[in-house]
Structure 1
Amino acid sequence: MIARLARLSDRVFTLAEWLLVLALGIMVVMVFGNVVLRYAFNSGITVTDEVSRLLFVWLTFLGAVVVLRQGGHLGFDLVTAALPRAGKQVCRVISGLLILVCCAVLLRGSWEQAALNMGNLAPVSGVPLGWTYASAVVAGVGLGLLTIADLVAALMGHEPPEHHAAGEAGA
């Protein structure tokens, strides 16, 4: 059962990474194309700015979830590195609980904003502005689930997973 969940998790995060690549590619093509149109032909595509902004917000929030899974967020471990194993575990649990509180605040606020703004449409593209806030809903859920999984592992006495920086051998 756990192996199936791990494989499903891997597939979901592979899909998320591909969505990030796709969003960034679309943004680059749209913005570059619009710049060329503006400077070379004195025209442009007006929807480009709104769609690029929406994709950038989604890129940021979805990227935060992917990076958390890879262990790529900045951390300060000067104090915890000096602690014995039990102290490290206590700090890990406290940190996880604080992160869950932040995720709950993010999730509640973004859910309310997404619901409130689904009726407000972007002026050019007509996309409901609630979709912008929905990115924070997805991030709140994703970050929360990853944190809960880490808390369960910490409470079971498992060490945190070893993460490798991008570009290192074995990454």
Structure 2
Amino acid sequence: MKRRIRRLLDLLHLFETAVAGLALLLLVGLVMGQIVARNFFDTGIPGADVLSRHLLLYILFFGAALATDADRHIRIDLLTAWLPSRLLDRLYRPLLAVGACVLALLTHAAWRFWLDSWEYSQPQERWTVLLDLVIPFGFGLLTFHFLMDLVLGTAARRSMQ
């Protein structure tokens, strides 16, 4: 069972790295192409601004998933300076559960928002709405990572690697 979970997590990590890296390369290439087109040809690349905004979302969500997988995501640590480490260890999983619930709610809200956007979008704008799928998918991916940490525990996940 552990081997299957490890294999799944390794494949997911590889997928997240590939998507984030590819999105970054495409963003750099698109922005450089836009600069060249505007400076030398007095024109821009049609749709480049919209596409670059969406590529930034892909980098953001998949980068956040990679950071969560490595347990290096942003935390709000106001109380950790005053709480004893033993209590922090006991609170770790309940706080992961709260985080997973919040992310699940954000996933649901993003999915409903995307469905409304799809339903009411103009046919010529549907390509941008398809790119917006990264928002519910990204929140879902973060939810999955939080749930994996909750079930396995960070120490258990690190020992599997």
Q: Which TM bucket (shorter chain)? A: 0.7 to 0.9
Find the counterpart in structure 2 of residue 19 from structure 1: 19
Q: SS of the counterpart of 1:129? A: helix
Q: Quick one: structure 1 residues 28 and 122, their matched pair in 2 at CA, closer, same or farther if it must change by over 3 Å?
A: farther
Please identify which structure carries the higher helix content. 2
Distance in 2 (alpha carbons) for counterparts of 1:117 and 1:139: 17
In the alignment, which residue of structure 1 is the partner of 2:81? Answer: 78
TM-score (norm 1): 0.78
SS of 1:67's equivalent in the other structure is: helix
Partner of 1:146: 145
Q: Secondary structure at the match of 2:143?
A: helix
Aligned to 2:94: 94
Pairing of 1:119-138 with structure 2 (within 5 A): 119=119, 120-121=121-122, 126-132=126-132, 134-138=133-137
Q: Judging changes above 3 Å, is the alpha-carbon distance between structure 1 residues 88 and 159 closer, same or farther for their aligned structure 2 residues?
A: farther
Q: Which runs of 5+ in 2 are unaligned?
A: none
In 2, Cα distance between equivalents of 1:31 and 1:122: 26
Greater relative contact order structure (CA < 8 Å, 6+ sep): 2
Give yes or no for the alignment of 1:62 onto 2:62.
yes
Q: CA deviation at 1:128?
A: 4.1
Structure 1 runs (4+) deviating above 4 angstroms are none
- How far apart in 2 are the matches of 1:144 and 1:47? 31
State the 1:39 CA deviation.
1.2
Matched pairs, number: 154
What is the DSSP-based 3-state SS (H/G/I as helix, E as strand, rest coil) of the residue aligned with 1:58?
helix
Q: Identical aligned pairs, as a percentage?
A: 20
- Report 1:104-115 matches (<5 A): 104-115=104-115
- Residues 93-128 of structure 1 show CA distances to partners (whole Å, capped at 9, x for unaligned) of 2211220221122111101011111241586x6514
Cα distance in 1, alignment partners of residues 110 and 69 from structure 2:
21
What TM-score results when the alignment is normalised by the length of structure 2?
Answer: 0.83
